[in-house]
Chains A and B, each alone.
Chain A
Amino acid sequence: MAVLVESHPTLTEAQRALGSDGTYLGGGTLVMRDVNAGTVQGRILRSSDPALRQIRASLDSVEIGAGVTMAMILAERDLAHLHPVARAVGGPQIRVMATVGGNLFAAHPYGDLTTALLALGARIVTAGGAQRPIEDFLRDRERAGLVAAVQAPRPREPRAFGFLKVSRVKPKGVSVLSIAAHLPRDGGRLRGVRIAFGAMGPTPLRAQAAERILEGATLEPGVIARAAAAAAEGLDPPTDALASAWYRREVAGVHLRRLLERMT
């Protein structure tokens, strides 16, 4: 079957034209590979909608267009907290192409940025303008439709957000696992803790057992140790070419502890 590329001026039109047989192409780092392998065929839809490539920051939140690339994030001062995350995605050639929207749909072991967005409690804005929490989106992302933008709170202080990626190949390797932690503090106590793990399940997942231990606590060694011990609870790590489920589960707490220690 041939590949037919359609370009649509707005995302809404692209969504309308998508149907059940179309494939939307963002930056192309994932879809083009499938096109080349013949596993994606038929209609490929693109959109030149300029809104997709906008970044709008306010004091406490930021809206990032789905077509914003990792390289654009790295060039944006208001997204400083996401720079370590964007830099962890591929090499320079990938980063100038890979988009926020694509990352939201990336299958394991990709999706490091999505892990960070999950920890931040982002909201996903779909083509029609509807908004939903990122957890809901990840639960059925195959049916979610096209994403227009992501809204994410901005951490109030640099140490409130941390990201760590474990890979076998430096600097460009894919994730054995990644961890993002959002630890807002209120009078020394952690309030609204969110911890997300990447490559530890079919999509990025929250480590809710660790979150419960940290919530309302102070970031001290005993608390960190207990959170680390509970890190893998509720996660569903896969076995793949990079690491076994056993290994991922075994070191999840070690790496969470190291990340939390960095954030004290």
Chain B
Amino acid sequence: MSATDQPMIDFRKQYFADERDDNLNEIGKPTRRQDITGHVTGRSPFYDDHLFEGLLHMRCARSPHHAARIRRIDTAAAERMPGVVRVLTGRDVPRNLNTLLSLLDFGIDDEPLLSTDRVRYRGEPVAAVIATSEARARDAVAAIRVEWEPLPHVLDVEEAVKPGAPVVLDIYPTNKFAYHGRYDHQKLRFGDVEAAFRQADMVIEGRYQMSPIEQAPMETCGAIAAPEQNGRYVCHTSTQALFFSLATAAKTLETPSSRLHFIGGTVGGGFGGKVDSIHEPLAVLGAMLTGRPVKFMWDREEEMQVGAPRGAERWYLKDGVMRDGRIVARSFTGYFDSGAYTRLSSYAIIKGVGHLPGPYTIPNVSADVYCVYTNRTPATAMRGFGITGVDFAIEAHMDKVAEAVGMNPIELRILNAYRDGDMKAHRRIAKNCALIECCQVVAEKAGVKLSPAMLAAASTRDGGGERARLPTHTATDEKGRVQGFQASSYAKKGARPPAPPGAPALPHAPAARPAQPGAAQPAPAAAPPSVPPSAPTAPRAGAMRFSSLSGFRRR
């Protein structure tokens, strides 16, 4: 059958038919989408379709440097400009330090909403103008004077992990995230790859680079916040993570979440780029401090260069292969380019490590994956987060392996494919597999002739048994041990950073705001060793934790 004869879509109902009941009332029906008429006629309301009288507009002043110390931010001229209602700096943010995954109890607060002392990437915001029009906000941004002291910067992941590289974040002095309070990378150890490489007929190595990519939603990220009744604030938002954004706003504004009413739900494309909750806290803060509705929305240039992209990834792969095409060992070294702050990259690495070595049963697997800080726009989620980059590496590598052993690339996949009952490298049994069948269907469609054995292979057969066993020996190591991080994922090196001096009490702030240790006087640079750092005993005002257990501890 030639390409043009083939249907554009077909359902191969014969596969796994005995595992399905195909006679349901609504499931499996091509029901038209509830929202499609609104979408195609331009009637669906998105966040920016909500109109408010007296709406104010927010824009940020940003760093022109990859890395710099901020000597002074002078907003006086901007504040005097026509239409300017207020200029915010980091001192206006009640809790100007956050890491997104603190809601899942994972990671150390590392990122300010508006930087006060140092910038770590080009485009980092240092002030936010609130004005009566977007144009006036732009003009005022141009009038903000910042005295910068440029600092050395590092842009390449492997340069960043070398000794002596410029330090991006002081809490991670080697520019690497600390996993579980133990290591500067996430490990995967299953069997003994080094021993298996020695026994393999050949060893095939490769280096792969995934590019940073923009999520490119048609609707740029943003939020409109406005005072509601009873001291509450409504926020119409483009978020793709409603309670993530709500809780991030509650935490950074030190406001009970019950005072926030977030509305979203219909979003003009997300693809992962609308999780970071940058706009909601600043828009709500603007509404709190001006008493008026405030919109904070990126233009396209900000969306593309300041908005967090899918981060770049660099992968080194090494396969030990037998002449018959069986892969007996696979090792990975991966570097995620997290940019200047953690955002979600630390999480993506764990997700990615749980996915290795791809959809194949390989008896010896090892991985060292680093979350690396560089002086670039922080990275964040995107469709396929944690997987897309390494899948590119794995499958480009599989093509090299196929060539090296002289095998049809589809047959190589089927030969090594995981099957029901196999032990996976993250030490769980595979089930519900279907890789082999997908390979067979594509081979048939493309007219690629497979051998009878490959045609007869099935995900439901020949798995388990020997293949279900854990390795008799797994080589482990202490490489990359870190000191000074606590195992608890909310580990801080010492006490919670003090609030900036003079952090304001917001209008309607709860009366019983807990005292902040260290707020009165900045902590000394080096506390005497006899005095233990004060434990963060004060409740995290306004912050919530959403995980079912304290996260990512050792089992």
Contact = CB atoms under 8 A, between A and B. Distances in A.
Interface of A: 1-3, 37-38, 41
Nearest to B141: A38
Contacts of B301: 37
Contacts of A41: 135, 139
Closest 4 A/B residue pairs (Cβ) = A38-B138, A38-B135, A1-B139, A38-B139
Summarize A's interface: helix, strand, loop or mixed.
Answer: loop
Nearest to B81: A1
B158 interface: no
A38 B143 CA distance: 13
Nearest to A3: B135
Residue of B135, B138, B142, B299 most packed against chain A (CB within 10 A)? B135
Given A1-B139, A2-B135, 10 more contacts: A3-B135, A37-B138, A37-B299, A37-B301, A38-B135, A38-B138, A38-B139, A38-B142, A41-B135, A41-B139
A37 B302 CA distance: 12
B211 to A, nearest CB: 13
Interface in B247-303: 299, 301
A37 B141 CA distance: 12
Interface string B127-163: 0000000010011001000000000000000000000
Nearest to B133: A2
Contacts of B139: 1, 38, 41
A118 to B, nearest CB: 30
Interface residues of B, number: 6
A116 B501 CA distance: 63
Contacts of A3: 135
B275 to A, nearest CB: 26
A3 B301 CA distance: 22
A38 B301 CA distance: 13
A35 to B, nearest CB: 9
Contacts of A2: 135
Contacts of A37: 138, 299, 301
Contacts of A38: 135, 138-139, 142
Contacts of B138: 37-38
A33 to B, nearest CB: 10
A3 B133 CA distance: 13
A219 B223 CA distance: 61
A3 B138 CA distance: 13
Residue of B138, B142, B301 most packed against chain A (CB within 10 A)? B138
Residue of A3, A38, A41 most packed against chain B (CB within 10 A)? A38
A57 to B, nearest CB: 40
A4 to B, nearest CB: 13
B297 to A, nearest CB: 13
B48 to A, nearest CB: 15
8 contacts: A1-B139, A2-B135, A37-B138, A37-B301, A38-B135, A38-B138, A38-B142, A41-B139
A100 B27 CA distance: 56
Contacts of B299: 37
A37 B139 CA distance: 10
Contacts of B135: 2-3, 38, 41
Nearest to B137: A38
A39 to B, nearest CB: 9
A3 B134 CA distance: 13
Nearest to A35: B135
A127 to B, nearest CB: 29
A1 B299 CA distance: 19
Nearest to B142: A38
Interface string B371-398: 0000000000000000000000000000
B157 to A, nearest CB: 22
Contacts of A1: 139
Interface in B498-529: none
A143 to B, nearest CB: 26
Nearest to B59: A38
Interface string B319-357: 000000000000000000000000000000000000000
B227 to A, nearest CB: 28
B245 to A, nearest CB: 27
A2 B133 CA distance: 11
A38 B142 CA distance: 10
Nearest to A38: B138
Nearest to B299: A37
Nearest to A2: B135
Contacts of B142: 38
A2 B139 CA distance: 10
B529 to A, nearest CB: 52
Interface string B38-61: 000000000000000000000000
A38 B138 CA distance: 7
A2 B83 CA distance: 11
Interface string B156-200: 000000000000000000000000000000000000000000000
A37 B138 CA distance: 8
B123 to A, nearest CB: 16
A169 to B, nearest CB: 13
A30 B486 CA distance: 55
A119 B447 CA distance: 50
